[in-house]
Structure 1
Amino acid sequence: MLELISAARRRKRPPTHQLFDVVTLEFRVGLLDIDLNMHLNNAKYLKFMDRSRLEHAVVTGSLNRMIEARCNVVVANTEIAYIRELRPYQQFQVHTRILGWDDKYVYYDQRFESQRKLHTHALVRVVNVHGGKSISPQSAQDITGMHLNSPPLPEYVEQWKRLLQSKKRLTETD
């Protein structure tokens, strides 16, 4: 809750980063963040990812534009690869960047690193919402006045999109 209040207070400051810049936050694994295996609980990763995407929105100025336009963002899908565990009191960074967008979703890349080693890699795709309905990234840009072109999405994102489409087709045939 305090993070949301802090972000709301800072949202009107001039942007310090461009939309496609990597934004890095530092964290430490707390005792309330661990599970029975004595490492960072998998649900806590999502909390750190949310916090890092919020910070990305603050420092790029997109949060202020979205709030003023009465738009918001909802996570549609997340894919996480746990590579190395994070132990109690271990310091780590979350590196967050927007990779680009297609006609429906905006794609984020988030990496958890400690001592320059990759511990966890996540892909997140979000949908923009305005007036209670999902809108395209292009419509969100029109509403917020942010007019940028998306770089081509990396091949690993295109592969992920194909996997998600396959999963969707499976649920439609059940």
Structure 2
Amino acid sequence: MLELISAARRRKRPPTHQLFDVVTMEFRVGLLDIDLNMHLNNAKYLKFMDRSRLEHAVVTGLLNRMFEARCNGVVANTEIAYIRELRPYQHFQLHTQVLGWDEKYLYYDQRFESQRKLHTHALLRVANVYGGKSVSPQTVQEMTGMNLTSPPLPEYVEQWKLLLQTKRRLTENG
């Protein structure tokens, strides 16, 4: 809750980063962040990721623009690969980057690193909501006055999109 209050206060500051820049935050695994296996709890990864995306939105000016346009983003899908564990008191960096968008979603890449080694990698796609309805990233661009062009999405994101489409078809037919 304190992070939200802090972000709301800082949202009107001039941006220090561009939308597609990598924004890095430093963290340390606390004793309240671990599970029975003595490493970072899976749910805590999501909390750190939320916090880092919020910081990305603040420092790029996206939060202020979305707030003024009365839009918000809702995570639609998350894919996480746990590569190496993060242990109690271990310092790590979380790198957050907007990769681009398609006709429906905004895509984020988030990477947990410690001592220059990748520990966890996550992809997220975020739906934009205005007035209780999903709106396209292009509509958000118009509403916020950002008027940016999305770079081509990386091949690994395109492959993930295909997997999600397949899962959707299976659930609709099953």
TM-score, structure 1 length as denominator? 1.00
CA–CA distance in structure 1, aligned partners of residues 148 and 91 of structure 2: 35
Give the superposed CA RMSD. Answer: 0.3
Q: Which residue is 2:68 aligned to?
A: 68
State how 1:132-171 maps to structure 2 within 5 Å: 132-171=132-171
Tell me the secondary structure at the aligned position of residue 8 of structure 1. helix
State how 1:80-95 maps to structure 2 within 5 Å: 80-95=80-95
Once the two structures are superposed, residues 106-140 of structure 1 have per-residue CA deviations (whole angstroms, 9 ceiling, x without a partner) of: 00000000010000000000000000000000001
Unaligned 5+ residue runs, structure 2?
Answer: none
The letter of the residue matching 1:107 is: Y
**Identical columns (%):** 86
Runs of 4+ with >3 A deviation: none
Q: Which residue is 2:53 aligned to?
A: 53
CA–CA distance in structure 1, aligned partners of residues 8 and 161 of structure 2: 32
CA–CA distance in structure 2, aligned partners of residues 128 and 94 of structure 1: 23
Pair 1:15-2:15 in alignment: yes
Q: CA deviation at 1:28?
A: 0.3
CA–CA distance in structure 2, aligned partners of residues 155 and 118 of structure 1: 20
CA–CA distance in structure 2, aligned partners of residues 44 and 109 of structure 1: 17
The letter of the residue matching 1:12 is: K
Q: Which residue is 2:42 aligned to?
A: 42
CA–CA distance in structure 2, aligned partners of residues 137 and 127 of structure 1: 8
Q: Which residue is 2:30 aligned to?
A: 30
Tell me the secondary structure at the aligned position of residue 84 of structure 1. coil
CA–CA distance in structure 2, aligned partners of residues 159 and 123 of structure 1: 12
Q: CA deviation at 1:85?
A: 0.1
TM-score, structure 2 length as denominator? 1.00
Unaligned 5+ residue runs, structure 1?
Answer: none
Q: Which residue is 2:125 aligned to?
A: 125
Tell me the secondary structure at the aligned position of residue 7 of structure 1. helix
Task: Report how many residues are paired.
Answer: 174
Q: CA deviation at 1:23?
A: 0.1
The letter of the residue matching 1:24 is: T
Q: CA deviation at 1:13?
A: 0.3
Tell me the secondary structure at the aligned position of residue 80 of structure 1. strand
Once the two structures are superposed, residues 41-67 of structure 1 have per-residue CA deviations (whole angstroms, 9 ceiling, x without a partner) of: 001000000000000000000000000
The letter of the residue matching 1:86 is: L
Once the two structures are superposed, residues 75-117 of structure 1 have per-residue CA deviations (whole angstroms, 9 ceiling, x without a partner) of: 0000000000000000000000000000000000000000100
The letter of the residue matching 1:147 is: N
Q: Which residue is 1:112 aligned to?
A: 112
